[in-house]
Chain A
């Protein structure tokens, strides 16, 4: 059972389009992180959100943490081919028995065509 559900699983768009990726859970997280992974490499941390309702912007990427800290979204404006990759959300649960563990969604594979 996946604690975090990501949608969509696949996204194929043209350069210049906008897109949103969703990460949902029934569990509360103390923080939520977004990673991007390219083939054959490890995930690279993009951002960490920690406060309910928080919005963070990283150039054309906008990350939002839900008010209840159960969900998050990633919005990309004017996508470029360089944005292609697997986008993963991961949550850290604020419970003593799960310290040091991240719960990952299955990822959204984004392909941006020139």
Chain B
């Protein structure tokens, strides 16, 4: 069974631009979560989607948004990029949301903002 895939793997943007990242979950997984990972803050939760609905959202500004499609694939968008948005963005999928919530991660998208 194929794992979680994320595209692109690497991205370089400049301040003020916007970016869209894509995530394809493991087949059959309907929950997709997004995390931002930086050396200083570790993994920070962005949001989680289940059956095309955002169920949870972390403490990030409105410039960070996402959506999920009927095939469970998900995208996240960051508008008006700032230098501090440089990070590894990780997508994780899970089969069931409770009680164990085991999440399986993709390789991530490395975003660099210049």
- Residues in chain A within 8 A of chain B (CB atoms): 2, 30-31, 33, 35, 40-45, 48, 50, 88, 90, 92, 94, 97-107
Contacts and interface: CB of A to CB of B under 8 A. Distances in A.
B109 to A, nearest CB: 10
Interface of B: 4, 31, 33, 35, 41-43, 45, 48, 50, 55-56, 58, 90, 92, 94, 97-108, 110
Nearest to A49: B100
A86 B76 CA distance: 25
B100 A100 contact: no
B105 A101 contact: no
Given A99-B48, A104-B45, 14 more contacts: A30-B99, A33-B103, A42-B4, A42-B105, A42-B106, A45-B102, A45-B103, A97-B56, A99-B55, A100-B56, A101-B33, A102-B33, A102-B101, A105-B42
Given A2-B42, A42-B108, A94-B98, A102 B55 contact: no
A48 B99 CA distance: 11
A4 B100 CA distance: 17
Contact of A94 (B41, B45, B99): B99
A55 B38 CA distance: 31
Contacts of B108: 40-42
Given A42-B108, A100-B48, A101-B48, A92 B42 contact: no
7 contacts: A40-B107, A42-B108, A50-B99, A99-B101, A100-B56, A101-B48, A107-B42
B56 A48 contact: no
A99 B106 contact: no
